[in-house]
Amino acid sequence: MHCVEFYSGIGGLHVALTRSSIPNAQLIRAYDWDQSACQVYTANHGPSIVSRTDISKLTANELAALGADIWFMSPSCQPYTVLNPNRARGALDPRAQSFLHVIDDVLPTLCEEGKQPRYLLVENVAGFQDSTTRTHLLDTLVRLGYTTSEFLLTPMQFGIPNSRLRYYLLAKASPLKFAGLPAPNLARKRNDAGVEVEASSSPAVLTYIPGQGDPWIDDRLSPAAVDDPKVSDSQLPGGELASYLDKLTDNEYETYKIPDKVLSKWGRLFDIVLPSARRTCCFTRGYTQLVERAGSILQMNEEMDTTETFDRFLALQRAGDSSTLDVLRPLRLRYFTPTELLRLFRIIGPRSNDNGEDQEFKWPENISLKTKYRLIGNSVNVEVVRRLIDYMYLEPDGNGQ
């Protein structure tokens, strides 16, 4: 089964496919415009797959020649993120145009020629659910004879200590169907060739994958958790952050510690977690460049109370004491390393042994630390996508097609 990856980044969707249960699946082409992302992709998956391409210029003939069975698509999230004050524009945002080109211009042509992919997987931020792009996408897929299913999923429900709620859409060309869905909304529509086809979509966005657990509920919203956040953390599935962390030398710690200037001015705004925690905030492309809504930082000293320490720091700061940072330094606050984030994103697995040895992930020498964080923040969680790929391939009779 041949697959094509659009907006391929550093290859998270590629890794998910290789770990899936689809037999003989092969990623034959990947497209991205980011030069650094293409360099990293090439270093890890070889030089013959990724193409630095403006996706808005792809043609139906080019994609028909590939004969792909599956399309993976993770288009730009900027038009739909909560950080974008103009996210209401949705499909009108210039950064959405390449995705709409593929959906509006390329896919219908392939359907007319009978050369369309049998499966599609689309990933984006949770805000995509409320966008005009999503509405247009669903309408187009149903018109073209696809059956769709939508999800809002987070790695935390699969035992990974990272909160990264994302929207996913799966689509299967008729007569393929999904297994275990709630009663679908059925419709008969004429496709672009004028042939009447039956298509369906699930009636709601699911917070679980059928057959893979219950709907996800954030325990932080329970009354007990509001009073004591540690209650909800102790009830989360999966293990502690400690198994994802590097054992840094003193020199390495200096590379990742929070700079004094940042700590003094913005330290109280960070989301601070301990190695024993079972939750981290969503890591974004702005990690280490932004303080809020960019991702958690680590407090390596678990013996100290974070809140009490910052209360003392603020009291001394208000009093004009020049030694305020001396109060915070013993907390040993630092950023997560790129390798730690690769583990949380399951691009590589959790630390395999006490020596901290990992499966290899290659960074070209010219890729800066800032760029590494940006590229990882733009990536997908491989384990969540792997589960969705397995589910997408499954038919109601329990077999793949």
The amino acid occupying position 315 is A
- Altogether, the residues listed in the chain come to a count of 401
d(CA 141, CA 129): 15
Write the DSSP symbol of residue 127.
Answer: G
d(CA 136, CA 140): 6
Catalytic residue among 77, 111, 281, 282: 77
For β-strands 50-52 and 26-32, DSSP reports them as parallel
Which residue from 279, 261, 273, 252 is spatially nearest to 369, judged by alpha carbons? 252
What is the rounded end-to-end Cα distance, in angstroms, of the chain? 10
Angle between helices 382-393 and 12-19 (to 10 degrees): 50
The answer to whether 392 and 386 have CB atoms below 8 angstroms apart is: no
Active site residue 77: yes
Any idea what the Cα angle at residue 197 is, between residues 191 and 202, rounded to 5°?
Answer: 105
Q: So which residues are the catalytic ones? A: 77
